């Protein structure tokens, strides 16, 4: 089932209309990051696999409102600019509102916290056919198990409408993190994730009497929408496929100031099933809160 794009627009209107005059803020945070992705085309094994560096600069502005001693309402706006070092068609600008309600069950640092929320995002790509509007429903849980250990879960149900149907789809995801605070400065993270839904795989292509087709014979059997793309400076065919993706990784995050932290993370992604897609991402990010 495909959710309409008006869903995301409704989220945007809801968050922007939230009264902020009676809230504390604005609180501003900025993030600068770079990442190496060894399969930016998300192709199966073969000549279609391409890697690239990615650079991202983001800002988030939030307003906080305490509804009672244990419930917090947060409204915000976030935006970022994403630049791919090799494939300019993947360059994009994103912006949108967020609305989140969190509740803490009890007092003290060991009390569990749950949250739910909505997010709407408009994404404009240099390859205009990839431009989209996305809406997400969020739900999460976190709890400190001891002074040193914390577990966090983040679940999402999303839908995105793009200019071209190949880049349109739905998904559900769940990400988990076990955080180990070695000291007041150093944190180590064990990461895992699950995603079920639509994604885009790009196959190296060749021209045939019937038009452009993927070189890999398996591409001819792929279900779903597809078409030729020039994003990767060579003939490629983009396919929309539905797949389950599992991920795991490690991270280390030292605090380098009272409001500044550095994070180094590694993620490995694998999508088994009709075809097998692998991807590895190494990222470094710097975050500062004002």
Domain map of the chain by residue range? 6-289
pLDDT at 82: 97
| Superfamily of structural domain 6-289 | monomeric porin ompg (2.40.160.40)
Take residue 62 and report the two structure tokens written for it. Answer: 């939030």
Distance CA(200)–CA(277), nearest Å, equals 11
Cβ contacts of 236 within 8 Å, gap of 6 or more: 41, 48, 202, 203, 204, 205, 228, 229, 230
SS3 219: helix
Q: Which residue has the tokens 């209309």?
A: 17
Q: How would residue 3 be classed by pLDDT, with cut points 50, 70 and 90?
A: very low
Please answer whether residues 165 and 145 qualify as being in contact, where contact means their C-beta atoms are separated by less than 8 angstroms. no
pLDDT at 239: 87
pLDDT at 1: 41
Give the residue among 165, 196, 159 at the shortest CA–CA distance from 4: 159
φ and ψ at 146, to 5 degrees?
-160, -175
pLDDT higher than threshold 50 for residue 2: no
Please answer whether residues 267 and 285 qualify as being in contact, where contact means their C-beta atoms are separated by less than 8 angstroms. no
Q: End-to-end distance of the chain based on CA atoms, in angstroms? A: 42
**pLDDT tens figures, 202-229:** 888 877 666 666 666 666 666 667 888 8
Number of alpha carbons in the 13 Å side-chain half-sphere of residue 200? 23
């Amino acid at each position: 089932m495909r959710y309409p794009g008006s869903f995301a627009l409704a989220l945007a209107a809801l968050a922007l209309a939230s009264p902020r005059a009676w809230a504390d803020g604005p609180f501003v945070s900025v993030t600068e990051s770079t990442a190496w992705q060894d399969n930016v085309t998300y192709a199966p094994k073969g000549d279609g696999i391409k890697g690239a560096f990615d650079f991202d600069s983001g800002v988030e502005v939030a307003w906080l409102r305490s509804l009672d001693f244990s419930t917090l309402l947060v409204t915000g706006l976030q935006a970022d600019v994403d630049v791919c070092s090799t494939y300019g068609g993947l360059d994009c600008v994103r912006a949108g509102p967020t609305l989140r309600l969190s509740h803490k069950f009890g007092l003290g640092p060991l009390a569990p916290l749950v949250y739910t929320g909505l997010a709407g995002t408009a994404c404009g790509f240099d390859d205009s056919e990839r431009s989209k509007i996305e809406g997400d429903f969020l739900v999460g849980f976190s709890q400190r198990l001891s002074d040193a250990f914390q577990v966090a879960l983040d679940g999402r149900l999303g839908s995105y409408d793009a200019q071209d149907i190949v880049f349109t789809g739905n998904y559900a995801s769940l990400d988990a993190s076990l955080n180990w605070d070695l000291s007041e400065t150093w944190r180590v993270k064990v990461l895992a994730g699950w995603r079920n839904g639509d994604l885009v795989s790009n196959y190296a292509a060749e021209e045939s009497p019937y038009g452009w087709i993927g070189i890999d014979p398996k591409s001819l059997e792929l279900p779903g929408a597809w078409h030729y793309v020039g994003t990767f400076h060579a003939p490629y065919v983009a396919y929309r496929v539905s797949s389950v993706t599992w991920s795991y990784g490690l991270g280390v995050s030292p605090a380098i100031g009272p409001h500044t932290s550095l994070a180094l993370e590694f993620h490995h992604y694998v999508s088994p099933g009709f075809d097998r897609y692998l991807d590895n991402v190494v990222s470094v990010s710097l975050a500062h809160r004002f």
